[in-house]
Structure 1
Amino acid sequence: MQDISKHPIFQALQKIIHDAADVIMDIYQRADLGIEQKLDDSPVTAADLAAHKVILAGLQALTPDIPVLSEEGVVSFEERSGWPMLWIVDPLDGTKEFIKRNGEFSINIALVENGVPILGVVYLPTTSEGYVGVTESWKGLPVGAFKWQGNEFESIKLRDPRDPIIVMTSRSHGPALPADLKATLKLAYEQVRELPKGSSIKGCRIAEGIADLHLRRGPTSEWDTAAQQAIIEAAGGMLVTPTGQPFRYNQRKTLLNGHFFVSGPELAPSVIDWYKKQD
């Protein structure tokens, strides 16, 4: 199997995401982050827009035949519904964390084919940690999940659940782990600990075996989840709806996701059963 770190497609994506991180971190050091409000009242900064331009130019040069759907470059459903393959990009996932300057934000790039995320790359500019997941070989990329930091590169996978169960919770969007679900988990495990983080970091920590579960009951968009879903699935996990169905992308007029959770196959039945009791 080819070393993914030496594959030209990965190297090109790595350069694109590193270049985007450089412009983000340049703006991160400034006193004025260039904050504005979008029509949905969510914040956007100069870093979101600058990273979008870098990524868009890089992807168009790498794959001129594959269109790009970005949080900062939304396309009508009438146009994108005819795209069997597309890049889905969040140039700055965790804008609220960026504004708070807590370092918990990421860059997300996913390649989607017929609704399925087959390649995902997530990069954390403040820690220089990068994650890549390939669920279906594309242009010779090896299937699997990997992490890099600097020149170090390693394969990653989910861990088997064990005490204490680590639950990733949202830094800005809450709520915390429901008490009755926590009680259910404690029937099988003595300790359940909650660890708040922002952006796609939560899913990546599960993919690399640091945590076990993330429950998201607030709004997200397709660019928030596509890249991490590919990484999580490549690492042996699942990002699924409350009924256990994986998300599919660019299939609807809306780009908003419903509720979802991230876990491995061992914890998933307990979470699905908990959701059923909420109906």
Structure 2
Amino acid sequence: MLDKICQLARQAGHSMMNFYNSHESINVTYKSNNTPVTHIDRLINNIIKKGLLLITPDIPIISEEDNYDFKICKHWKNYWLIDPLDGTKEFLKKNGEFTVNISLINNGIPILGVIYVPALDVLYSAYKHHAWKENQLGLKQKIKVIKSNIPLFLTSRSHIDKELSHYLSTIKNYRIKKLGSSLKFCLIAEGKAQIYPRFGNTYIWDTAAGHAILVAAGGKIITLTNQKTLNYSLSDRNSLINPGFFASAL
């Protein structure tokens, strides 16, 4: 099934790049939280949902681009969680830092994760305790986290976080890099970075695929409040918003 999901992510990403490389105007509107959404987000959403329904017709789907009755979702033990175009701001800026995110949640745990980076034609995937990176030449290799005495911190390119600035002021030796979308999880998973602290809001579709890949590569994601692993069990939540967290190789 992982291979089928990887193929689906590539299909969605290739469709995305047709718009990215064209000179057509993009219809942009804004959600209630002031984040942009385009007709491309919705198109990719439809491609992925149709593909998932063909692969697993009995597993429900939660997507960033749809609305849900949370009272019904709370009873789902297994579900697909997707962000069709993670990094819409980066897509519009044409900096290449956007991804297709697909994950499978089982009893609160992301057991399968796929992140495709269309602009780089690079695909990250994970199932249970194994994580891989496949480059544009088709070379697929296992990946794992790498610790560093001078860790590279990854921060959001599009979000300003005052708490993050305060936290970094308490750290002596570190490097820092701003990056868009779920690429932050992938860089830690393949050993190119070590820590992604997030104090502001994220949604479960922002993190689940990256969570699966990072943990399979030997990393972890713990909440800031109780130092427990970030959990995706809907019965334990009041909303689809994540608490603050640390994603790390440590």
Shorter-chain TM range is over 0.9
Report deviation, 1:103. Answer: 1.0
Give the partner amino acid of 2:230.
F
Report deviation, 1:184. Answer: 4.5
Give identity over the alignment, percent.
38
Superposed, 1:119-134 pairs within 5 Å as 119-134=112-127
**Quick one: distance in 2 between partners of 1:130 and 1:235?**
14
Give the partner amino acid of 1:22.
H
For residues 119-139 of structure 1, give each alpha carbon's deviation from its aligned partner in whole angstroms, at most 9, with x where no partner exists: 11111110011111222xxxx
Give the partner amino acid of 2:205.
W
Report deviation, 1:182. Answer: 3.8
TM-score, normalised on structure 1? Answer: 0.83
Superposed, 1:173-192 pairs within 5 Å as 173-175=159-161, 178=164, 181-182=167-168, 184-186=170-172, 191-192=173-174
Contact 1:170 1:176 survives alignment (8 Å): no
TM-score, normalised on structure 2? Answer: 0.92
**Quick one: distance in 2 between partners of 1:176 and 1:148?**
36
Contact 1:237 1:262 survives alignment (8 Å): yes
Q: Tell me, what secondary structure is at the counterpart of 1:21? A: helix
Q: For the pair shown, which has the larger CA radius of gyration, 1 or 2? A: 1
Residue 103 in 1 paired to residue 96 in 2?
yes
**Quick one: distance in 1 between partners of 2:74 and 2:168?**
40
For residues 127-173 of structure 1, give each alpha carbon's deviation from its aligned partner in whole angstroms, at most 9, with x where no partner exists: 011111222xxxxxxx31111113110000000223x3211111011
Counterpart residue number, 1:114: 107
Counterpart residue number, 2:74: 81
Report deviation, 1:41. Answer: 2.7
Higher relative contact order (CA 8 A, sep 6+): 2
Q: Tell me, what secondary structure is at the counterpart of 1:73? A: coil
Report deviation, 1:32. Answer: 1.1
Contact 2:12 2:47 survives alignment (8 Å): yes
**Quick one: distance in 1 between partners of 2:43 and 2:153?**
33
Residue 258 in 1 paired to residue 250 in 2?
no
For residues 61-109 of structure 1, give each alpha carbon's deviation from its aligned partner in whole angstroms, at most 9, with x where no partner exists: 0000111100012321122122110000000111111111111111111
**Quick one: distance in 2 between partners of 1:50 and 1:229?**
25
Once superposed, what is the RMSD of the aligned Cα atoms?
Answer: 1.7
Give the partner amino acid of 1:241.
T
Counterpart residue number, 1:274: none
Q: Which ranges of structure 1 fall in alignment gaps of 5 or more residues?
A: 1-8, 136-142, 266-279
Counterpart residue number, 1:277: none
Counterpart residue number, 2:59: 66
Aligned length, in residue pairs: 245
**Quick one: distance in 2 between partners of 1:264 and 1:75?**
34
Aligned mate of 1:238, from 217, 220, 242 = 220
Contact 2:60 2:78 survives alignment (8 Å): yes
